[in-house]
Structures are given as C-alpha cells and as structure tokens.
Amino acid sequence: MTITLISAGPMLTIQDAGRFGLRHMGVSPAGPVDAAAMALANALCGNEPGAAALEFSGPAGSFRTDQALRFAVTGSDCSIRIDTRLVAAGESHRLNPGETLSIAAPREATWAYAAFSGGIATPLVLGARATHLRSGLGGIEGRALRAGDRLPRGADSADTPCLRPARPLTGHRPLSESGPIRLIPGPQDDYFSAEALARLTECEFTVTPQRDRMAMVLGRTTLSAARGHDIVSDGTVPGSVQVPGSGMPLVLLAESQTTGGYPKIGTVASVDLARLAQLPVGAGFRFQLISRDEGEELLLAQRARLRKLLADLVAKPDSWMRSEYLLSCDLVGGFYDPGEILRPVMQGRGGETS
Amino acid sequence: MMTPKLLPCGDSAISLQLGETVDAATNARIIALAAAVKGLCDEGALRGVLDIVPTYRSLLLRYDPAEIRGRALEELLLDLAGRPALPAAPARLWRVPCLYGGEVGQDLEDLAAMKGLSTDALIAIHAGTDYRVYMIGFAPGFAYLGGQPAILDTPRLPKPRQLIPRGAVGIGGQQGNINSVAGPSGWRFLGWTPVRAFDPARAEPFLFRAGDLIRFCPVGADEARALEARSAAGEMIITPEDVPA
C-alpha cells in the first residue's frame, strides 16, 4: 500500500504527534504546527489523532495510490481535486487507483494537513515519524518531500465510511478560539521595563514573512529588554516569545530548538498557539495576559471540546457533494503568496548560544 | 548560588532557576535535581512530567496539566531544591580523538596568531583541559562545553558560515563545542573528531550528557580516517571512564 507523489509543493513534510521525552538531548519534538487540525484530518480517515500525515504550506502537490484509500484535508480551506472533480476540505473522500488527487495551497490559513487512512508508515526515527528539517530527522531522509517519493501506508479497512463533522467547522479547523492571543508572562519578563511590558499588551503586532516551522517573527511593535538581550541559555518551549536584539519578538513553534539565549518575555497559551501560527502574513493581533492557572484550565477545556468533536464525527451519505455543505465551505477565498511563508527565520543563526 | 526561583514557561512547562551565570556548582546542583525528578517519575511517585531538561543554571520541566498542575509541581520542586545536596555521582570522562587543523579546523592558525601562540602551543592548551558538559541543547546531542582556559576565549564570527560539518571542534566565546550535526555556525573551529555525538541509527544515539567531562586527544590524519570508518559503520568508537567527583 503506497502513495506516490506525482508532484510536491515546496513545504510538504511528514508529521506525526512528535518526538517526545528527548528535549534533554537537544531533540526538538517537531510534529504539526497545528496539532488539532492534524488530529481532525486523521480522525476523518479513521486514524489515531497522532498518526503520521502530511503538513503543507504552499501547494501540497498531487498524489496517486495503488489501493483504494480515504483521505481528508484540514487546517484551511483549499482547492482539492480528484482528477477534475472538486471535493471539499474538512471531510474524508475516497481515492481509487488510477485517480490523481491534487491539493492546492491553504487559502486563508498558513498550515494545512492531508491524512490518509492507515496513516503514513515511514520508519520510526527516535520513536517518531515527524520530520525535523533542521536536524534531518524523520519522514523521508529528514527532508521535505519531493516528486517521486513513495509513502508506505499502514493497514486500513476499506469498508469504513467517509466521515465529516456533525456540524461544518469554520475554516476546517476544529478549534474556535477568538479574541486576543493569550500570553502567560515569563520566564524572563523581569528583563523588560514597565514601558515594554505595557507595549506588549497595548500595541498591535503583525505577522511578518519571516516564518517557518521553527518560529515566526512579529512586526509593527518592538520591545526592548532593559537588562539586555542575551541570557545564559536556558530551556525553551513551543510558544516561547523570545526577544532578540532587534526587538522584534520571535514566537517558537513545533520545530524550535530546545534551548535559547534570548530573554523570553512570555509564553503563548497552548490554546492559542496554533491560532497565532495559522494567521496569514500581514495579519494584526494583540496579546492579552493571563495566569498560568487560567492557561491550564483553558487548555483542558479545549482538549475536551476537541475530543468530543472527534468522537462525534458522522458518516457521510453516499452522495459525494451536498449543496449545503459546499455552501458552508469558502471555495473562493483570497490567495496570498505561498513563497512569503517559506523564508527561513533564523538562517545563519547556527552558532546561537548563551 | 542564589535562592531557588520559580519561573512559569506557559501552561505546560515550568523552570526552576538557581542562578543567572555560568557556574559549575550551580550546574551540578541542577543536574542532581534533574536526576531526583527523574527518580520520582521512574518510581511512579510523580506522574505527568513529559520532559526534564537541565540547562546551565535552571531546570525546565514540561508537564501535562491533565496529570499534574503547575502549582503542584512548583511545591515539589521547591521542596527538592531545599533538601541538602546529595553526594555527586562519579563523572564520566570521555577521551575524544581530535585531528587539529586541516580543512575542518580551518581557524587553527588564525586563532594561534590572535593569541600570539604557535599552533602546537594552542593545541597543547586545548587538549590539556578537562571540559565540562554544562548542557545538551540547540541541536540533537550538541554539548556546550565549559571550563575553557581564558586564553582560548574568542568571540564568535560576525557572520556565521553556512555549512560546518558534523564533528567540527570549536570555540564560541567562553565555550567549547563538538558539532553534533552539520549546519551553519558562527563558532571558530580548530579541529575535527570522528566521534559522532549523535547518530540516530546507533543503538545509543546520544554520546554525551550534562555533567560529563571531555578531554581532547590529538590524533593524526590516518588514525582519524580509520576511526571515521568505524564511526560510519555505526560503532561507538570511545567509551567513558568514571572519575570520582
């Protein structure tokens, strides 16, 4: 059971839940930038939430299969075709041998996911299949996928129905948080003056083109650290908001390094990190401070909502296209330049230390 | 050593900081605390801790708030930090073969000239020091080495080089390193080792851990090539010896 890539976009990688428990050895977990969206894509195909699937930014590419399978695309609306037939994101479809599946770039969000029934079954590397591009781990040879790659697929029961959410979702993303991006102060908020801390919540930030799976650089508002922009390196986590000497905050994402030498003014709440990472280039937003306890409560509640949504998926009727469902999908949303989101953030920062 | 300070790192991680500078005693205390937390997890006495990351001067724990809340972890960490230090375990000393100069050790002569030393004298100083692994971070298996003689301290290059190979032995400010994966780097390099600090295909993917000692041993090009062939075949070409704390 193999999926063959006829063509591949510039940023197409294999991801699973991630590589955990090895941070003390310098191993970044990798995994999806938007874990909930990938979990939904997997669930729509009858897979475990953390099964290996494809993450893409920019066009995904085109695919063929040697055996019938089900697939689903989530994370963003995007144009999906089986041969010439247009099908919707956010629900699963059958793909038969001889047909070509083509998946275009995410339209409104930045990161989208394509899951296949049975999951992608490339070899485990340090316990996971997730690709970490910078250290060349996981996936296929630790790299982004390219035309000609063949993806082995896990066992799958062909009779299972295609699924969709009980109610259509906004943007084919399972979580519907809104409002400011919530932030928990620390661990080095004491490096910043009261004025800088005030700007953090009073001023608007924007998403710049300097972004990739490792981090995103924020624009419009700069922050200056009164005690300097170098610390003795300590641990970082996805969501850490580092402030280097440029004053432009840098939010660490799934592929971030495990330690860093910049002061961290705060950490984006887990419930809002994927929402921030999914904003298109140029989007403006504000931060709102919350406590660690609030962040934990919000996260537990969000996980419960996601579990319910995944448990409540329903079988699709046989008709492959129902008008009210198509109408709920934005099929003509605005495009933006996919190249803009692929510029590496930290090129040449390999010697970064304390 | 300062009073232990708890620093929140969002809603799924917490950091206990024991200092703000590079200091061997602080680092040893952090590593002992990490071992104590790991012991509690292994015994089943502590659940929900996903990662235990000792760094130069602080200990980061990643946790699952569905299993344990940050507040409870804070109490546990403060309690552990308040206990008398346990006697340190013996350190592991690694003798790391190093081919000085050459293509990878491209900065050896410049470094010697900057210090007003012959290359032989510079090598003798570099190889005559036991370095301490303060932490593993930045990249898989990447060891930050402290204890460098002050004369070797050299600022990083203003513009990083795009590709430095695995095994490059370098100096960045007051620290030493062994490149564990190929990549860009602004450090200055004086040699190369066939030892692979990280090899995901090997039974033991990671060689070094925080608290280890490292001594570089000069080798010639022929010996380095022979060792490299064994490394490439997946062999762990050096083993550590225990030295009393």
Query: Which residue bears the tokens 């082995």?
Result: A152
| Residue in A with minimal Cα distance to B205 | A126
CA distance A289 to chain B (A): 11
Please provide residue B228's backbone torsions phi and psi, each rounded to the nearest 5 degrees.
-60, -40
Q: How many CA atoms lie within 13 A of B156 on its CB side?
A: 19
Distance from the Cα of B21 to chain A's closest Cα (Å) equals 6
Phi-psi region of B148 (alpha: psi -120 to 50; beta: other; left: phi over 0): beta
Contacts of B27 in chain A (CB under 8 A): none
Domain extent listing, chain B: 5-82, 91-243
Residues 72-131 (B) with a CB less than 8 A from some CB of A: none
Residue whose C-alpha is closest to residue B192's, from B221, B172, B213:
B221
B135 interfacial to chain A (CB closer than 8 Å)? yes
Could you tell me the fold of the domain covering B5-82? Gyrase A; domain 2 (3.30.1360)
Residues β-bridged to residue B175: B172
The minimal CB distance from B21 to the residues A21, A232, A299 is found for A232
Domain ranges in chain A are 2-166+313-340, 181-296
Interface of A with B in 251-270 (CB under 8 A): 257-259, 264, 267-270
Q: For residue B188, give how far its alpha carbon lies from the nearest alpha carbon of chain A (Å).
A: 10
The whole-angstrom separation of Cα A304 and Cα A90 is 20
Q: What is the pLDDT along chain A (354 residues), one digit of tens a residue?
A: 999 999 999 999 999 999 999 999 999 999 999 999 999 999 999 999 999 999 999 999 999 999 999 999 999 999 999 999 999 999 999 999 999 999 999 998 999 999 999 999 999 999 999 999 988 999 999 999 999 999 999 998 767 899 999 988 877 788 878 899 999 999 999 999 999 999 999 999 999 999 999 999 999 999 999 888 888 889 999 999 999 988 999 999 999 999 988 999 999 999 999 999 999 999 999 999 999 999 999 999 999 999 999 999 999 986 444 454 555 554 444 444 444 444 445 443 433 443
| B-proximal residues of A, 89-128, CB under 8 Å | 125-126
Q: Which residues pair with A206 in a beta bridge?
A: A219, A284
CA atoms within 13 A on the CB side of B124: 5
Contact pairs from chain A to chain B, CB under 8 Å: 174
Q: Which residue of B has its CA nearest to A260?
A: B138
Spelled out in words, what is the top-level CATH class assigned to the domain A181-296? mainly beta
Q: A24 and B17 in contact by Cβ < 8 A?
A: no
Domain B91-243's class? mainly beta
CB of A223 within 8 Å of a chain B CB? The answer is: no
Closest among A110, A49, A50 to A75, alpha carbons compared: A110
DSSP per-residue codes, A149-179 = -EEEB----TTPPPEE-SS--GGG-S----S
Q: Is A186 left (phi over 0), alpha (psi -120 to 50) or beta?
A: left
Which positions in chain A touch B141 (Cβ < 8 Å)?
25-26
pTM across the whole model: 0.90
